[in-house]
């Protein structure tokens, strides 16, 4: 499942950003290099974001780390739901998403239906508030259960034969 809360169309074209293009379809158009557009875009996994913020907390640098994440016009947050989050991690993720709500673009990818998000976010109230912010004015795209990576691998193997 893919959530795309995009207040405006954003063009992407870097190697890191190109990894998300197959999932974004009509929302992302690869036409102009990002450096020429002067847009700040970040692609990361949910676990990497949480780990960065937890580490910043240990170094008393939370404010600086949060300010860095707020500068991006688009954050593509991948693999939400693969790793259950501790309370502090879930709270940091909520804070990043909440601070961005209705201001800047956010893309979230997950394989979990909404009903299973409480397995990732231990606090049910936090989970509900997070889903509320993510789904408000969002384009929700259900991609099915087939992995595009698996499909791509199988296509490559068949071409070799």
Q: Which CATH number fits domain 2-137: 2.40.50.140, 3.20.20.70, 3.40.50.300, 3.40.228.10?
A: 3.40.50.300
pTM above 0.75, yes or no: no
Residue 140 tokens, joined: 């929700």
Phi, psi (5° rounding) for residue 124?
-60, -35
pLDDT tens for each residue of 125-160: 999 999 999 999 888 888 776 777 788 888 999 988
pLDDT tens for each residue of 4-63: 554 443 444 444 444 455 555 444 444 445 555 677 899 999 999 999 999 999 999 999
Other beta carbons within 10 Å of 16? 13
Residue 54 tokens, joined: 């937890």
Residue 19 tokens, joined: 């990894």
Hey, where are the domains in the chain? 2-137
Task: Return d(Cα 20, Cα 29) in angstroms, integer.
Answer: 11
């Amino acid at each position: 499942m893919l959530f795309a809360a995009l207040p405006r169309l954003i063009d992407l074209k870097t190697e890191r950003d190109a990894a998300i293009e197959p999932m974004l379809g009509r929302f992302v158009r690869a036409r102009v290099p990002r450096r020429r557009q002067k847009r700040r875009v970040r692609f990361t996994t949910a676990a990497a974001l949480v780990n960065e913020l937890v580490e910043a907390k240990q170094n008393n640098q939370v404010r600086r780390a949060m300010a860095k994440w707020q500068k991006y016009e688009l954050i593509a947050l991948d693999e939400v739901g693969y790793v259950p989050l501790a309370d502090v991690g879930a709270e940091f993720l909520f804070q990043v998403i909440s601070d961005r709500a209705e201001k800047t673009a956010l893309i979230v990818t997950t394989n979990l239906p909404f009903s299973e998000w409480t397995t990732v976010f231990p606090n049910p109230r936090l989970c509900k508030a997070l889903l509320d912010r993510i789904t408000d004015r969002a384009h929700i795209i259900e991609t099915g259960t087939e992995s595009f990576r698996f499909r791509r691998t199988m296509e490559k193997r068949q071409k070799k034969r």
